[in-house]
């Protein structure tokens, strides 16, 4: 923040000096748009609040896309990943068990229970028939016949239950149970993949080629989750961020060519307006003359064209002068 304020102060001094430069007429000075030279700023954040264990680059160093910049402690993430992988293995084994069905030994036990229930049913049926004949001859009481009938009914019920259990084992598991197991495997795999990505992001890499502007945290410090760990200036065309006074808004349109005057550079840079905000803002104190400071302004961006902008510093004051009519 202090660097940006210093740039604004330098801008104000540059504006004051422009009025004394030879060949800079009051009309030209009045029509120039004031701002700063900028570059696309990228903030790489911490995925987890883990200590910084290695700084692979220094501030001001140029890096390529994919280059390792900062490493954070990955012990906790690795343990969580291992736990998730174990859950994937457990869910996968459960699915395999459901797809294969019961073991042959379990099926044989069910068949044995069916045979035993069938034998009990035959025995109770014979007993019931014998008691029924004795009751007809008035040799035993009706109570014994009722007991024999109840035993026969119970044996037949046990036989039906045993046969149904055997049929369920032979038919296999329900499709819904298998689908649930497959869904559990997919969920476990997704959770493991998420943890793998999080663990990999503890090794912070450059998302684009550019220059390291700031490393807010040092070795051993623990950045908060979501906090910026690396600030980069991307290797993209530099642009001037300027404030357009409300009376000049109609002249500034995307595609219009312009000259960009940079402090410390003799020749202006070629530029083209690439963006103009539709909403107005209050003009900063340093951006316009005393007469225009009370008016609203519109933020605009003028991209530098036709020049190698890789060495242009960000944050320096600039003035932008529009050229003629719009050109494609």
Tens of pLDDT, residue by residue over 228-237, are 999 998 888 8
Residue 278 confidence (pLDDT): 86
For residues 145 and 131, the answer to whether their CB atoms sit within 8 Å is: yes
Say which DSSP state 21 is in: S
Using pLDDT thresholds of 50, 70 and 90, give the confidence band for residue 10.
Answer: very low
Query: Taking 50 as the threshold, does the pLDDT of residue 69 lie above it?
Result: yes
- The DSSP code sequence of 110-141 is HHHHHHHHHHHHHHHHHHHHHHHHHHHTTSS-
The DSSP element (H or E) to which 66 belongs, if any, is none
| pTM: predicted TM-score of the whole model, two decimal places | 0.56
Tell me the mean pLDDT in the region 266-281: 87
**Rounded alpha-carbon distances, angstroms, from residue 161 to 75, 90, 115:** 54, 32, 12
Residue 44: predicted pLDDT: 93
The pLDDT of residue 3 is: 38
Residues 70/76, Cβ–Cβ less than 8 Å: no
SS3 279: strand
Q: In 10 A of CB 180, how many CB atoms?
A: 14
Predicted local distance difference test score (pLDDT) of residue 291: 56
- Burial of residue 106 (number of CB atoms within 10 Å: 0-12, 13-18, 19+): exposed
Q: What percent of the chain has pLDDT over 70?
A: 84
Segment (H or E) for 251: none
- d(C-alpha 106, C-alpha 169), whole Å: 8
Tell me: pLDDT of 297 over 90.
Answer: no
Q: What is the pLDDT of residues 12-54, one digit of tens each?
A: 444 444 433 344 454 555 578 888 888 888 999 998 888 999 9
What pLDDT is recorded for position 15? 41
How high is the mean pLDDT of the chain? 81
């Amino acid at each position: 923040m202090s660097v940006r304020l210093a740039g604004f102060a330098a801008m104000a001094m540059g504006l004051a000096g422009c009025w004394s430069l030879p060949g800079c007429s009051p009309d030209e000075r009045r029509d120039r748009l004031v701002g700063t030279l900028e570059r696309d700023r990228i903030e790489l954040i911490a995925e987890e609040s883990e200590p910084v264990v290695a700084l692979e680059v220094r501030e001001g160093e140029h890096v390529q896309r994919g280059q390792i910049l900062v490493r954070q402690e990955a012990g906790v993430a690795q343990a969580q990943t291992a736990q998730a992988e174990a859950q994937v293995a457990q869910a996968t084994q459960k699915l395999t068990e459901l797809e294969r069905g019961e073991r042959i030994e379990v099926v044989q036990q069910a068949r044995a229970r069916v045979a035993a229930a069938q034998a009990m049913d035959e025995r109770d049926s014979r007993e019931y028939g014998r008691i029924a004949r004795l009751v007809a001859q008035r040799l035993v009481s009706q109570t014994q016949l009722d007991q024999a009938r109840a035993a026969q009914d119970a044996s037949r019920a046990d036989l039906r239950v045993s046969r149904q259990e055997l049929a369920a084992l032979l038919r296999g598991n329900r499709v819904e149970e298998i689908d649930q197991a497959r869904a559990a495997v997919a969920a476990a795999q997704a959770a493991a993949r998420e943890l793998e990505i999080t663990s990999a992001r503890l090794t912070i890499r450059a998302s684009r080629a550019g220059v390291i502007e700031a490393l807010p945290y040092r070795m051993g410090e623990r950045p908060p989750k979501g906090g910026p760990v690396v600030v980069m200036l991307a290797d993209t065309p530099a642009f001037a961020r300027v404030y357009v006074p409300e009376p000049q808004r109609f002249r500034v349109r995307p595609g219009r060519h312009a000259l960009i005057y940079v402090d410390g550079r003799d020749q202006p840079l070629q530029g083209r307006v690439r963006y103009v905000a539709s909403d107005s803002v209050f003009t900063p104190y340093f951006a316009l003359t005393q007469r225009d400071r009370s008016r609203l302004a519109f933020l605009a961006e003028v991209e530098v064209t036709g020049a190698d902008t890789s060495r242009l510093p960000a944050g320096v004051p600039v003035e932008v002068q529009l050229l003629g009519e719009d050109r494609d």
